[in-house]
Amino acid sequence: MWSLQKIANTIHEWLNTTFNSTIATTIEMVIAGVAVITLFALLGLVLVLMERRVAAWMQIRLGPNRVGPQGLLQSMADTIKLLVKEGLTPNGADKFLFNLAPFIAMIVAMLLMAPIAFAKDFQLWDLNIGVLYISSVSSIMVISILMAGWSSNNKYSLMGAMRSGAQIVSYELSAGLAILTIIVPIGSLQFSEIVQSQVNGWWIFKGHIPAIIAFVIFMIAVTAETNRAPFDLAEAESELTAGFHTEYSGMKFALFFLSEYVNVFIVCAVGATLFLGGWMPFHIGHWESFNHMMDYIPSSVWFFGKTFALIFLIMWFRWTFPRLRIDQLLNLEWKYLLPISMFNLLLMTALAILGWYF
């Protein structure tokens, strides 16, 4: 039901019959690359608009509503404004690192899209270590932030970058452990298999209490990893003006901005895949007719619905919570989240060995 496999196969066959295999592969790669870039830009635009509308909704105001119908073209207009704006490089900045940092942020966000299963049979690269790939590539993000903070030659930026370094490295641990908690019963790091394992129910329902604990920890940790409030210490507006991107302007700033949103999308997509079944429709055990009915809803709707629900959750955090202090932030990770997630992992392992999950 509802598969893009046929279209992909048709294109693949047509390319291979028209050109020789080398050219066909090259063209396929170009198509994939263009798709990723388009998705990156599109997600950025949609998420910025969504954030502004969610914020406005929570803050009893209207939000963008002038440009285009219902303000839908607002982020387009913003992009054009940022594109024509001068990208300043401050005196005394390390020019090479300063200009490289936003591109690393962008490239990381794009690389992270590769293994995500957007819909049934719609995935760029179904590699067998997909989850590991995501968690390792996302760590490169911290390098870009440190680079930006260090090369700006600004004390606010430096402090923001240092905070961010400590924060991302710490929270990566509990995010990783939360992911492992789900990986243990699945026994695979491959995205397609993770989704397939949830054909009779999502892990958040199947995995008993450990899965719920892991989900909560995962959401906290990824909020911190993507530098979102209440963990937005790297760009703590009221303390450090804009933190690591204080000196950036124009499109260079926009790249940081966009990659932050795309990162939010990616971590939510990973969360949706691991805990909420990815593109897998809502299935309950052996209720065949119910499951069959659910299958009629396209898989991409399931995937994006779940992902955007999680994104909304993260935005909800941002617009309601005050910010933590740096020592409280690290205490939360090392004294609470890390021990809990370690214990949780052991618990899940025991459950998996005993086979006590559905």
Alpha helices in the chain (DSSP H): 5-18, 21-58, 74-84, 95-111, 130-138, 140-151, 155-186, 191-196, 203-206, 208-225, 237-240, 250-276, 288-295, 299-320, 326-331, 338-354
- At closest approach, how far in Å is the CB of 152 from another protein? 14
Residue count of the chain, please give it.
358
319 in contact with another protein (CB under 8 A)? yes
- At closest approach, how far in Å is the CB of 135 from another protein? 26
233 in contact with another protein (CB under 8 A)? yes
- Return the ∠ at Cα 129 (arms to 139 and 131), rounded to 5°: 50
Q: Taking the CB of residue 118, how many other CB atoms lie within 10 A of it?
A: 20
324 in contact with another protein (CB under 8 A)? yes
Which residues from 126-155 bind another protein, rule CB under 8 A? Answer: 155
d(CA 50, CA 172): 26
d(CA 280, CA 203): 11
Residue from 38, 59, 70, 136 touching another protein (CB under 8 A): that is 59
Cα 240–chain centre separation = 25
169 in contact with another protein (CB under 8 A)? no
d(CA 275, CA 320): 24
Query: What character string, x for contact with another protein (CB under 8 A) and - otherwise, covers 240-259?
Result: -x------------------
CB nearer to another protein: give 229 or 272. 229
156 in contact with another protein (CB under 8 A)? yes
CB nearer to another protein: give 121 or 247. 247
**Strand, helix or coil for residue 119:** strand
321 in contact with another protein (CB under 8 A)? yes
**203 in Cβ contact with 275 (< 8 Å):** yes
91 in contact with another protein (CB under 8 A)? no
Query: What character string, x for contact with another protein (CB under 8 A) and - otherwise, covers 94-133?
Result: ----------------------------------------
- Which residues are near another protein by CB under 8 A? 55, 58-61, 155-156, 159, 163, 229-230, 232-233, 236-239, 241, 319-328
